[in-house]
Amino acid sequence: GYYGQFGGAFIPEMLYPNVEELRQRYLDILAEPEFQAEYQQLLRDYVGRPTPLFEAKRLSEKYNTRIYLKREDLCHTGAHKVNNTVGQILLAKRLGKTRIIAETGAGQHGVATATVCALMGMQCIVYMGEIDMERQKPNVYRMRLLGAEVRAALSGSRTLKDATNEAIRDWISNPVDTHYIIGSVVGPHPYPDLVARLQAVISEEMRKQLLEKTGSELPNYVVACVGGGSNAAGAFYHFLEEPAVQLVAVEAAGHGVNSGHSAATSVLGKPGIIHGSRTLLMQDEEGQITEPYSISAGLDYPGIGPLHAFLADSGRARFISIEDEQALRAVAELSRLEGIIPALETAHALAALQQLGAGPDDVVVINLSGRGDKDLETYLKHAETL
Ligand SMILES: CC/C=C(/N=C/c1c(COP(=O)(O)O)cnc(C)c1O)C(=O)O
């Protein structure tokens, strides 16, 4: 479970039985024909896959290159998170679990978890930082409407990191009947690999769609925002071994990487352990996690998945960081040029177009990870920028 020096499972002894059971069984279960049949059927008929690869003509004109948007915002629940939760709920059923817990920041993973729990008739408890419950309120209402219990994480900075801590604490206390559906490519092995595999359908579809539309399966650039890194892992997965494809990971610079209010982990992070994984994380000289900041809850995380730590360390991916204001301007730009209102997290990937350097013959695919409904209050507050 390693990506170079990163990854592994550095977990407290009390968590070992749960994680070890998962490690021993996940690959076999994912390979079962019955699992794949049910998983593919739900992706098709419930999630609504394949998602479109949409040629954004006016955006392409503005940046004088060829831009395609992979429409994960059109998945059921409004973001890519459901690709992962559908797979993990089927896995949990096969492990005989009856109770599901999850962490959430933007609330999209929480909604995607509550959604599949309703579908499968399983108990659902979602941990969410008190700060995030305020700035992603629509998703709190959605989770409760879907029958989930939303528990406020009041510790630490009361955002995604703290919700993750509370979920881990719950799992340690409820090891036998509970499966923890982690929402990104973070946490102890096998989670980063499991979630990447469940999101890989994104780049599997991209290759086929690109062949139809451009005559080649390979784009010049694939661009995705990175919080923990799951939508990027899915968008990059089937291009990792294709050196001609430039992988561009976009992080949240918040108020600027040197402002003291940032979540650009690949720039500010150092190797360490967070949530059971050895990766890059923002920490002080004693190794205590320093508080991140981003206007977007889903990118407001002091760590990064070990896959992305490896991609940064090895130079396989190019890392760009985008400030709050740049992301907000990108929301307005996509809305007015293509009639699509993106999520704040997704807007960071769109803002990278300004500095990508793509030429008129290049093909750029941007992973449109989610829609902006959950962020409308924030967009209203920043109406002057928009
Ligand atoms: C699992 C915690 C992250 C959440 N969301 C992260 C997120 C992200 C960043 O998460 P990753 O893809 O895992 O890097 C990108 N786009 C949208 C629309 C998101 O909602 C959440 O709780 O919904």
List, for residues 187-227, the tens digit of each pLDDT value.
999 999 999 999 999 999 999 999 999 999 999 999 999 99
Three-state DSSP class for residue 42: helix
d(CA 277, CA 275) in angstroms, rounded, equals 6
108 lines ligand 1 (CB under 6 A): yes
Ligand 1 neighbourhood includes 142 CB (under 6 angstroms): no
My answer on whether omega of the bond before 190 falls inside 30° of 0, hence cis, is: yes
- Beta-carbon contacts of 35 under 8 Å, excluding residues fewer than 6 positions away, are 29, 90, 91, 94
Instruction: State pLDDT tens for residues 222-235.
Output: 999 999 999 999 99
Tell me the sheet residues that pair with 251.
Answer: 321
Find tokens 């002080």 and name the residue.
284
Q: What is the pLDDT of residue 133?
A: 97
DSSP 127: E
**Rounded CA separation 330/348 (Å):** 7
3-state secondary structure of 148: coil
Closest ligand 1 atom number to CA of residue 79 = 18
Instruction: For residues 115 and 94, give the distance between their C-alpha atoms in angstroms, rounded to a whole number.
Output: 18
Specify the pLDDT at position 247.
99
Query: Backbone dihedral region of 322: left (phi > 0), alpha (psi from -120 to 50 degrees) or beta?
Result: beta
Q: Which residue has the tokens 């979540």?
A: 263
pLDDT score of 270: 98
Give the model confidence (pLDDT) of 40-68 as tens digits: 999 999 999 999 999 999 999 999 999 99
Ligand 1 atom closest to the CA of 227, numbered from 1: 14
Decide: 109 in ligand 1 pocket, CB within 6 A.
Answer: yes
pLDDT score, position 15 = 92
d(CA 170, CA 191): 17
**Ligand 1 binding pocket includes 78 (Cβ within 6 Å):** no
Mean per-residue pLDDT for 87-103? 98
pLDDT confidence of residue 178: 97
SS3 (DSSP) at 128: strand
pTM above threshold 0.90: yes
Whole-number pLDDT of residue 254: 98
Helices within 215-323 (DSSP H only):
230-236, 265-268, 306-314
Q: Is the pLDDT of residue 385 over 90?
A: no
DSSP string of 333-371? HHHHHHS--B-HHHHHHHHTHHHH---TT-EEEEE--BB
Catalytic residue list:
81, 103, 369
Omega cis (within 30) before 360? no
HSE at residue 353, side-chain half, CA atoms within 13 A, is: 28
Q: What number does the ligand 1 atom closest to the CA of 231 have? A: 12
Percent of the chain with pLDDT over 90: 98
**ipTM, 2 dp:** 0.99
Quote the percentage of the chain above a pLDDT of 70: 100
Token pair 């600027």 is found at: 256
Please write the tens of the pLDDT for every residue from 289-313. 999 999 999 999 999 999 999 999 9
Q: What's the 167 CA to ligand 1 centre distance in angstroms? A: 16
Say how far apart CA 12 and CA 172 lie, in whole Å: 9
Q: Is 226 in the pocket of ligand 1 (CB under 6 A)?
A: yes
Distance CA 253, CA 265 (A): 9
Per-residue pLDDT, 267: 97
